[in-house]
Amino acid sequence: MRQRQFAPVVLLALAAAAAGCGSGMVEPDLPDIVAQSIEFHGGDLYEGSTITMTITSLSGSFRIEAMRDGGEYEHVVINPAGDGRPERRVRLTNDGVSEWRGGEELPLDAENERRARAFVDARVFFPLLPYTLKGGDVHFEDRGLETWDGRELRRVKVTFTPGSSNDADDAYTFWFDPE
């Protein structure tokens, strides 16, 4: 049996701002190829899951703790202390966003709430693909098949509802293996 793969090809930067990951929004009609990718990667298991990971690059690292229980979600992004700065912990749930620096909770005005939400969204969207493609603020445009190294891949452009997040004007292209 040939292994099926989800192949996001154009991911310019993991830390690049992304949108739509805090969904809790109305579930859209997913294109078949996206639904197949989600099913291949565990399907509904994600809806009752706890995922933890540490992402590390030359610029540093951060930890993601993501929990889903049906429509309820909690995403915590932890930027560890270092170089004289305290640990930054931001928690995003269906109910709102909270931020701690060095263990002390910060009061968030509207602008700092927006920034804290964007901090989490930008770090959770790509690592949790393809699941983060589910959400009422995500829109798809089928761009047809393309051949890569002799394999036919489905090209899909992803955009977001204007105003749905800090970076809703971003657009991404993903390639999916239809098999």
Q: What is the pLDDT of residues 89-104, one digit of tens each?
A: 999 999 999 999 999 9
Residue 67 pLDDT more than 60? yes
Query: Which carries the bigger pLDDT value, residue 100 or residue 21?
Result: 100
For residue 140, give the nearest of 150, 149, 130 by alpha carbon: 130
Could you tell me the pLDDT band of residue 146, with boundaries at 50, 70 and 90? very high
Exposure on the CB side of residue 42, measured as CA atoms within 13 A: 10
Q: Considering the entire predicted model, what is its pTM?
A: 0.75
Q: Would you place residue 27 in the very low, low, confident or very high pLDDT band (cuts 50, 70, 90)?
A: low
9 has pLDDT over 90? no
Question: pLDDT for 33-59, tens place per residue?
Answer: 999 999 999 988 888 999 999 999 888
Token look-up 């949108």 returns 19
The whole-angstrom separation of Cα 81 and Cα 99 is 14
Residue 13, pLDDT > 80, answer no
